[in-house]
Structure 1
């Protein structure tokens, strides 16, 4: 098990370096192969804690992660400081909680594999396990 995770991590890292250059990402979910294709607006709403028509749980990478920076810029349209300010206000007023943060792309992939309804973003080109489905692509 540990050997397969290490192999997956090394493959992911090599793929990520190429994908980071062009900013291509995929939003993936563990949804039992339902046919779901979200729009950019729906993905943004999901990651900003706004209700969507699907029962999905957004998962994010940590603030300084390059993949997160690309996601924030291209999908949310906000800087990290604006996002942190938004979530601080939501927590203070008791309205919403920020998405759970996962430390790395490798751990994100593992978390998504093991949690039904979880949605996250990864560099495009990452080899996805059968449990995960691409629901949005960012080129």
Structure 2
């Protein structure tokens, strides 16, 4: 019986460790971008089209993950509290009233990282495992 309990406890710990590591998102800018660390509300303002500038005044353009991806859902839930359905309604209204266009999206974290690394005006979010020296993290989302 003790062996079963230890085995069960070990499996639970492994699953919990894997779930927490898989859920870490990093908001990144180019390594050549001098923008300081950002707060979630500042990141949300850029991604929701409410701001086109980094806090230091430099131009900012958001780059999204694909619609329906788990990273995208996690990101928007964490920085803005919006679900995918809420985002769709938000952008429909913004586009219809002429107040904005949603960010363009890239196919995955690697594509986001490469595009952001090449353009200091871009900001994106990636899985922490895709992070390298070509980009600089400005916000970690657990």
- Please, what TM-score do these two structures have when normalized by structure 2? 0.76
Unmatched runs of 5 consecutive residues or more in structure 2:
1-17
- Please, what TM-score do these two structures have when normalized by structure 1? 0.78
Higher RCO (Cα < 8 Å, 6 or more apart): 1
Equivalent position to 1:85, from 82, 89, 103: 89
How far apart, CA to CA, are the structure 1 residues paired with 2:133 and 2:31?
12
Larger radius of gyration: 2
Counterpart of 2:136?
A: 133
Structure 1 residue ranges, 4+ long, deviating more than 4 angstroms after superposition = 18-22
CA contact (8 A) 2:33 2:121 kept: no
Unmatched runs of 5 consecutive residues or more in structure 1:
1-17
- Equivalent residues, number: 121
Counterpart of 1:46?
A: 46
CA RMSD of aligned residues (A): 1.9
